[in-house]
Structure 1
Amino acid sequence: MTDYDVPKAIAEQVEATELPKRLKTKLYETLEERNVTDEQAKEIVMAVENRYLETRVDPLDPVGTVSAQSIGEPGTQMTMNTFHYAGVAEIDVTQGLPRLIELVDARKTPDTPMMTVYLEDEYATDKELAHQVVWNVEATRILALGDISTNVADMLVQVNLNQDTLEERGLTAEDVAGIIEDKLGVKTVQNGTAIEFGPEKPSYRDLLQLVEELREIVFKGIEDVRRVVIRKEDLDDEDQFVLYTEGSAFGEVLTIEGVDASRTTCNNIHEIHHTLGIEAAREAIIEETMNTLEEQGLGDVNIRHMMLVADIMTNRGEIESIGRHGISGSKESVLARAAFEVTVNHLLDAAIHGEIDDLNGVTENVIVGKPIRLGTGDVDLKMGSINRSAEQAD
């Protein structure tokens, strides 16, 4: 019945409950860990089910309003600062209210995109192998490999490469010269670690243009990842190397040898959606919002409020913002849309298209002065006369 080592009668009782699968799994794990009698196990199962049923939302409860209040009220206590991420002093990541706004607005790119890259097997414990992954992730440009100078008399760009740096990053002078030729369309002359090239026709302007273009070429790594910080952390009871990046390219980093794709993550929910799908994006929204609140000491906000926000943002298969260009702007109610932003435009469009508002939501009923259709307000009572003669005959 189950992979867990619990008595058959207890397993049958757990399966008969209304608990969701994740909670059942947690219950099995707890019963297996603790040395409890069958009677105690039954009591625990009953107590968990009762607690679960008590915490379920009542019918017609305004869960959206409660969630908005539960997130918005502590949001007023949040700071507007940018904090260092996870103790990595070299990397700044937007936190607090700006980060929360970024998430609910579903911004295409965060102000400070970053990735947390976990490594697998020997890459996680061997420093040399870990650094190989670093050089495959971090964008290596020419200034990291050597010096650039211009010879105006001969109209040449001269590059003097550092041999130690080339060896460290797994490159050769021939590799660099070949990439320069491919990217810039010029003919290079290589002499050891020195490379020379120039414009086809003598031109000071073209010479400077070549230098500017040379600075932007990525010789190794991922173009969008500007910098990588490597740290040793205690994970799974052993010291493992973890990489923190400035800039993100989630799909590309997962293909690099040595990267643990099951744990690696980034703070761009759109990249996660594009790479792993809408369910992963929903989990990322929940995780990022909860982490932002916990960072501010507001971790006691119930995660179910965040789950509701994430569900609303992703239930159509795409990530939608909570604003006039997303959820609020696509509401069926004309008055609800008008109450949020750009009131006149919404009313004018609705009048032109002959839209009808059924007054089902909270906002529109408040506007027109009617009781809201929630809780007892959603119950219709009808009065009727009683036929007493028929009642007596019965």
Structure 2
Amino acid sequence: MAISEATIDSMISNLDMPKSMLETLKDDAIKVGVTKKELEDIIEKLKENYEYACVEPCEAVGVVSAQSIGEPGTQMTMRTFHYAGVAEINVTLGLPRLIEIVDARKQPSTPMMTIALEEEWANDRDKARHLAWEIEATHIEHLADITTDLANMHLIIDLHEKTLKYRSLTPDEVADKLRDEMDVMVTVSGDIANQVIVTPNAPSYRELLQLAKNIHNITLKGIEGIKRVVIRKEGDEYTLYTEGSQLKNVLQIEGVDVTRTYTNNIGEIYEVFGIEAARNAIITEANSTLAEQGLTVDVRHIMLVSDIMCCDGEVKQIGRHGISGEKASVFARAAFEVTVNHLLDAGMRGDLDKLNGVTENIIVGQPIKLGTGDVHLISR
């Protein structure tokens, strides 16, 4: 028999836990309708997990986290490319990927996206394929053979009929796109099917060569930066995997499930969804990178690193251009990199080091203010 709200209140009132945790426990207990015995078991398990999660006062959590992530990092492979379970798409894993994450690189070396689809598209391969062509960047080399006609001073583009049909394009659409992007004369040949002729504004050999070079950079369809899209069936639904990442643009396409679409580009997640999402992405990416190598690191260490990187409202690297370079202590900054510059600059400014941290106290040979070093004995 489910217990009353008053009984729940009396059972949890003496627990030494955060108020938010107790409120969640109470709400869930009422919603599910647990018995007294079940609630006692839940409370016992909760106390056990909470006590395990607590940190001793004056514990050097930063040092422990650095050690806990750094030591497994020495066992990680240095090879850069691996298959990420998707044929044809390579992704950086191992130590190079972990370095990318903590360095807060604006652009990862192998950006990729996992695009979940809404029900109507996820269960229909043809619709999923059509959506893939809407996302994948289509360039002229995918569709045609280009010939430079020096006698008449123009480019002849012979479009492949089968590819045009496959990618849902027409010669007129290709011509319109080229005309808009390049501001040159573009005509669809009336004599030969699927032939487009591009003429430079000035009848110059140099202009013609430049035109032949520039025409390859134009995206005729899809999203610039998405080099390839692979369709894969997972369970009952189709999922798209992309080489390249453009999160903001992809989320605007009809048929894409915004709630389940993911990118390994943490910078894009920060720009689109904000700092909390970026923090979660750092934790997820670091965890999955370590797990892929068969390494297990307690998530609290990774969470601490992620919190430090994101605590100012933007994603900062752990390095001299980020966290380490912004420490209040002169000695702590100097101990990391470019020692002489930090000391000279601090001397010219007349900076004062209060010796509160670990690094600076070790440098000057004092006990650090952590653990037993933080306790002061006073005799009377």
Question: Would you say same fold, with TM above 0.5?
Answer: yes
* Separation in 1, partners of 2:22, 2:120: 34
Q: How many residues align?
A: 374
Alpha carbons 2:144, 2:160 under 8 Å: kept: yes
Q: Which residue of 1 aligns with 2:290?
A: 293
Q: Once superposed, what is the RMSD of the aligned Cα atoms? A: 2.4
Q: For 1:368, which of 337, 350, 364 is the aligned residue?
A: 364
Structure 2 counterpart of 1:332, one-letter code? A
Alpha carbons 1:84, 1:90 under 8 Å: kept: no
- Residue range with higher mean Cα deviation, 341-350 or 160-169: 160-169
Structure 1 counterpart of 2:315, one-letter code? I
Unaligned runs of 5+ in 1: 385-394
Q: Which residue of 2 aligns with 1:247?
A: 244
Alpha carbons 1:19, 1:52 under 8 Å: kept: no
1:338 aligns with 2:334: yes
Q: For 1:72, which of 60, 70, 73 is the aligned residue?
A: 70
- Residue range with higher mean Cα deviation, 285-294 or 149-158: 149-158
Secondary structure in 2 matching 1:232: strand
Alpha carbons 1:230, 1:241 under 8 Å: kept: yes
Q: Which residue of 2 aligns with 1:267?
A: 264
1:186 aligns with 2:184: yes
Q: For 2:352, which of 349, 356, 375 is the aligned residue?
A: 356
Alpha carbons 2:12, 2:22 under 8 Å: kept: no
TM-score where L is the length of structure 2: 0.92
Query: In 2 relative to 1, CA 363–51 (structure 1 residues): closer, same or farther, beyond 3 Å?
Result: same
1:202 aligns with 2:203: yes
1:218 aligns with 2:219: yes
Secondary structure in 1 matching 2:376: coil
Q: How does 1:89-104 map to 2 (within 5 A)?
A: 89-104=87-102
Q: Which residue of 2 aligns with 1:323?
A: 319
Give deviations 1:106-156, integer Å, cap 9, x for gaps: 111111111111111111111111112111111000111222112121112
Residue 38 of structure 1 deviates from its aligned partner by: 2.5
Q: How does 1:153-172 map to 2 (within 5 A)?
A: 153-172=151-170
Q: Which residue of 2 aligns with 1:125?
A: 123
Give deviations 1:215-248, integer Å, cap 9, x for gaps: 11101111111111111112xxxx1111111111
- Residue range with higher mean Cα deviation, 155-164 or 310-319: 155-164
* Separation in 2, partners of 1:27, 1:290: 31
Secondary structure in 2 matching 1:88: coil
Q: How does 1:145-156 map to 2 (within 5 A)?
A: 145-156=143-154
TM-score where L is the length of structure 1: 0.89
Residue 348 of structure 1 deviates from its aligned partner by: 0.6
Residue 179 of structure 1 deviates from its aligned partner by: 0.9
* Separation in 1, partners of 2:351, 2:63: 25
Secondary structure in 2 matching 1:116: strand
Structure 2 counterpart of 1:218, one-letter code? T
Residue 64 of structure 1 deviates from its aligned partner by: 0.3
Unaligned runs of 5+ in 2: none
Structure 2 counterpart of 1:280, one-letter code? A
Identity %: 53
Q: Which residue of 2 aligns with 1:56?
A: 54
